[in-house]
A and B are shown apart, each in its own frame.
Chain A
């Protein structure tokens, strides 16, 4: 069966520090991968998605970047965090079709001080 792993579960970082969140998927090949962010009390916002190794599409301009160095590895990064980067970050995978569901990780709660 397929599983998705996301770490760390919680993270507290100072403003201006770098960020690296990692997500890996097991049990499937060539999945579509997604990074979402959920600000406090709000819905999920799609940040990035990838349909293959090295391919990244950005949905909104921001202080973050994403990379996909391997088929089942998706990384969210920042060189210098801002206070507005605080939130709940979720990685998801899917087969990309119209009916196939997306499967989400447990998320990383990021607090910027």
Chain B
């Protein structure tokens, strides 16, 4: 599976936007970009996914670079409940992946009141 690189940690203030970067320079044309987050002592939670175009949902926005070698998860107004570990994961359409997820270390987001 293609690898992703994320900063170990980021900090934000409450009600400010947060941009969480992810590098995936070896992404293939059939890799989808998925984001999950994990709140303390809980299982991961799906946030958003995309292939080429920018995506929006009720939780966040996903901005994908034109060459697809990087992406950014955008939280428009951070709240204290957004403090979590954010994982950027590539899922491949081919082969026998069976929807498996390969988690990296993720980015620890701290939100200050």
Contacts and interface: CB of A to CB of B under 8 A. Distances in A.
B43 A98 contact: no
Majority secondary structure of chain B interface residues (helix, strand, loop or mixed): loop
> Helix, strand, loop or mixed for chain A's interface?
strand
Contact of A107 (B34, B42, B97, B105): B42
A101 B105 CA distance: 19
Interface string A28-48: 000010101000001111100
Contacts of A101: 34, 36, 46, 49
Given A42-B105, A43-B104, A43-B106, A95 B99 contact: yes
Contact of A98 (B44, B93, B104, B105): B93
Nearest to B51: A99
Given A49-B98, A102-B46, A43 B87 contact: yes
Interface of A: 32, 34, 36, 42-46, 49, 51, 57, 59, 90, 92, 94-107, 109
9 contacts: A32-B98, A32-B99, A43-B87, A99-B32, A101-B36, A101-B46, A102-B101, A104-B45, A106-B42
Given A95-B99, A104-B45, 16 more contacts: A32-B98, A34-B101, A43-B103, A43-B104, A44-B101, A59-B100, A92-B44, A98-B97, A100-B99, A102-B99, A102-B101, A104-B43, A104-B44, A106-B42, A107-B42, A107-B43
